Amino acid sequence: MTDTAVTEPGLRDLSEEEFVARYGAGRFTCGVLANRGRYVAEHICTDLLHRAFSPIITFSQDFVGAIVGPPEQDYPLAAVNKGNVIFLGSLSTGVRNTVWEYGIDRLEPGDLLICNDPFRVGNHVNDMCFIRPVFHAGEIVSFVVIRAHQLDIGGIVPGGFSLMKKNVYENGLVLGPQLIFHRDEPVKELMRTILDNTRFGETLLPDFHTIRSCCALGERLVQDSIERYGIEAYKGAIRYNTDASAASMRAAIASLPDGVYEGSDAVDSDGVDTEVEYRVQVKLSKRGERLEVDLSGSSPQSRTSLNATALDAQTAVALAVKLVLDPFSPFTSGIYRDIDVVVPTGSVIGAGPPAAVMFYFEIQSVLINAILRALEAPLGERAVAGAYGSTNLHTGEGLNPDGTPWFSAAELEAQYGAWGATDAGDGNNHSGLATLNMIMPSVEEIEPRVPAMILHREYLPDTAGPGTHRGGSALMKQSLFLSDGDHYLVPLHFRTPSGSGVHDGGDGRAGGSWFFEDESSDASTPVSEFRVPEPDDFDGAAVVSGVVDPESGRLDPGGEFAFFGRKPIWSERRGSVLRWITNGGGGWGDPLERDPEAVRRDVRDEYVSIAGARADYGVVVSGDPENDPEGLELDLEATERLRREMTAERG
């Protein structure tokens, strides 16, 4: 936070002379260079997105491209591509830490510096940071940075997405600051070390080369800008970029009423047992243009790989505040200027060695929920309802009947889902978490490669948080396995709903996960004879996770929580079916004020049942939605009466 006793004049109010004095160039040049920086960050990612070998890079777009400013400006994050926001908070400090530890004087043109240690650069070990210095007249004036998820980085589980990793040594290979390319030539020893200690080397290696090319392109584009506009203007524009986004965030913070706001959310478990809670507690203190976010009261770091570091906390705090107050301005490190994050060391949101840090994004997700909840009251109508909560990751592996191995990660899970409603309208049904933005692989791409059939991927009625604006609906996803396999499942938010309603809206229904285990089939049973349960059939299923009626296995908010970690590995036979039901998104506004015609359409589209229309919305609809959807009748009088009764009953 800049320590100024007097509020500075807004950038808008500076005269052109004052502007030039401050930034070394006029508004035009700074504007052009600021835009250029963002374009450069996009251009360096274009190639990576279309040419990467890692499906996590391509589909999950699990990478970021950025320009970080010079050491003399303290490594500001000046520009970043509009892609995956989950890396953003760690880039400035992460690059600073990496370069400082390696030794800035040792860097040469054509070097590519890497680091993947969460305790130095945030995120997790798969997220390798690649840093290329840009020189001008012998000094480093910027860094071109790509941070990208590597498909595997060693550790005890392929791909790494397992809670069973209990410490740094089981988690994956940690690489402190070191060069992977020196003067544009591969540093073979490091590349061999990486390939000797990781899986899927044939995917990792070409991506290292592609990333180097992308960074080299970025360097050329930056040097172009410097040649065209001069080094002073270039450096001034970086400061301008961060000042502009600081100003935008300052105004956003100022728009909140002064006060202290608290909220919290918890993940279901760290995978060991359900005895210990893992909760993120948030206290936002806002005075004038200053915001302090204290995470004290959060749970200690977990016994497994469900941990995040303080840099991830910083990312999530900024994202949550941006989401509700300032969604569109460019992201630079300037947005932290007026935000102080207070993170308890040794907590699940500020873990320290030798904790395994892998599922940091799940902790970030509950932190964001906590902030959305804390800010519900002061935001009033601008409040944002909660989303689906967890990426529910699945990793599976095994042997096909013909003896060949199979492997699947992040495709047969329920990684995406509903968002909450807002003042703008109903919640979107299906997207990634706020921190993530992924392209979903298609069924037809998965099935030729993996011994599974995705038999169901459809929304369920009566799962969206009711409201004047309804939340997005829950998704049921069901996959049939055609080979035996071992499955690692990480569903982390079925114990309580994540889709909190706001502004008198209702919560989205919490979901769950089940395995229909097949005992009777063998390698010769034809697929057509496997049991494929209907959406309404839970008979005999093993409940992986969820709050269910212990007899029937169906979801029941008053039931008992089935704990997924009671079986660290779910070993299932050919013919088994993995079912997911995601959490519904939260509603916005009183459901008794939802336009009855909208409710009739919901019933027509089977997003709400006739019974649900009555119980949740006080709307009386009759007819046969399945067979005569256009013939549904809305009884407005009966609706009015029912709504009056329901209002009275609330008391």
Residues in region 403-422 near another protein by CB under 8 A:
416, 419-420, 422
For another protein, the closer of residues 507 and 643 by Cβ is 507
Q: How far is CA 374 from CA 99, 172, 344, 379, in A?
A: 37, 35, 19, 10
Applying CB under 8 A, does 343 fall inside the site for another protein? Answer: yes
**Between 342 and 610, CB nearer to another protein:** 342
Extract the tokens encoding 482: 């055609």
Q: Does 35 bind another protein (CB under 8 A)?
A: yes
Rounded to whole angstroms, the Cα distance separating 645 from 386 reads 29
For another protein, the binding residue among 20, 22, 32, 71 (CB under 8 A) is 32
CB of 248 to another protein, least distance (A): 6
Per-residue contact string for residues 504-543; x = within reach of another protein by CB under 8 A: -----------------------xx---x-----------
Touching another protein, residues 371-390 (CB under 8 A): 384
Best CA proximity match to 562, nearest among 549, 578, 550, 545? 545
Phi/psi of residue 131, nearest 5 degrees: -125, 120
At its nearest, how many Å lie between another protein and the CB of residue 30? 7
**96 sits near another protein (criterion: CB under 8 A):** yes
Q: Binding of another protein at residue 100 (CB under 8 A)?
A: yes
* Among the listed residues 24, 37, 65, 83, the single contact to another protein using CB under 8 A: 83
| Contacts of another protein in 266-325 (CB under 8 A) | 274-277, 279, 281, 285, 287-288, 290-292, 294, 296-300, 309-311, 313-314, 319, 322-324
Cα 576 to its chain centre, rounded Å, is 29
Q: What is the footprint of another protein within residues 10-29 (CB under 8 A)? A: 10-16, 19, 26-28
Residue among 393 and 453 whose Cβ is closer to another protein: 453
CB of 232 to another protein, least distance (A): 18
**Sites for another protein among residues 195-234 (CB under 8 A):** 202-203, 206, 209-210, 213, 217
Which residue in the set 22, 135, 176, 504 belongs to the binding site for another protein (CB under 8 A)? 176
Asked if residue 354 has a cis previous peptide bond (ω within 30° of 0), the answer is yes
Amino acid at 598: A
Per CB under 8 A, contacts with another protein among 419-448 are 419-420, 422-432, 434, 437-445, 447-448
Nearer to another protein, 364 or 642 (CB): 364
For residue 189, give the amino acid letter: E
Q: Is 310 helix (H, G, I), strand (E, B) or coil?
A: helix
Q: Which of 20, 22, 43, 531 binds another protein (CB under 8 A)?
A: 43
Torsion of CA 457, 320, 264, 415, to 10 degrees: 20
Tell me how far apart the alpha carbons of residues 396 and 487 are, in angstroms, rounded to a whole number: 4
Compute the least distance from the CB of residue 269 to another protein, in Å. Answer: 8
Q: State the nearest-atom distance from the C-beta of 520 to another protein, in Å.
A: 18
Closest CA to 28 of 240, 220, 332: 240
In whole angstroms, what is the distance from residue 138 CA to residue 91 CA? 24
Site for another protein in 136-175 (CB under 8 A): none
Identify the residue among 41, 66, 93, 599 touching another protein (CB under 8 A).
93
Half-sphere exposure of residue 643: CA atoms within 13 angstroms, side-chain side = 18
Q: 198 vs 115, 156, 173, 194, 195, CA distance in Å?
A: 16, 10, 8, 6, 5
- 439 versus 523: smaller Cβ distance to another protein: 439
Q: Which of residues 482-511 bind another protein (CB under 8 A)?
A: none
Nearest to another protein of 134, 237 (CB atom): 237
Nearest to 487 by CA among 604, 398, 354: 398
Asked if 54 touches another protein (CB under 8 A), the answer is yes
Given the rule CB under 8 A, which of 105-113, 136-144, 183-191, 557-565 is the region that contacts another protein?
557-565
In the complex with another protein, which residue's Cβ is closer, 121 or 642?
Answer: 121
| Smaller CB separation from another protein, 76 or 497 | 76
- Judged by CB under 8 A, does residue 243 bind another protein? yes
Contact by Cβ (8 Å): 88, 333 = no
User: How many angstroms separate the CA atoms of 417 and 233, rounded?
Assistant: 45
**What is the number of other CB atoms lying within 10 angstroms of the CB of residue 458?**
11
Q: Which is nearer to another protein, 61 or 498 (CB)?
A: 61
Residue 551 or 637 having the CB closest to another protein: 551
Q: What DSSP letter does each residue of 366-429 carry, written as one string?
A: HHHHHHHHHTHHHHGGG----------EEEEEEE-TTS-EEEEESSSS---BPPPPBTTBSPPS
Between 128 and 211, CB nearer to another protein: 211
Given candidates 162, 198, 248, 391, which one binds another protein under the rule CB under 8 A? 248
Rounded CA separation 334/77 (Å): 8
Give the residue, chosen from 62, 117, 462, 518, that forms a contact with another protein under the rule CB under 8 A.
117
CB of 151 to another protein, least distance (A): 9
Per-residue CA distances from 546 to 40, 318, 457, 494 (Å): 45, 31, 19, 5
Q: Which amino acid, one-letter code, is at 257?
A: P
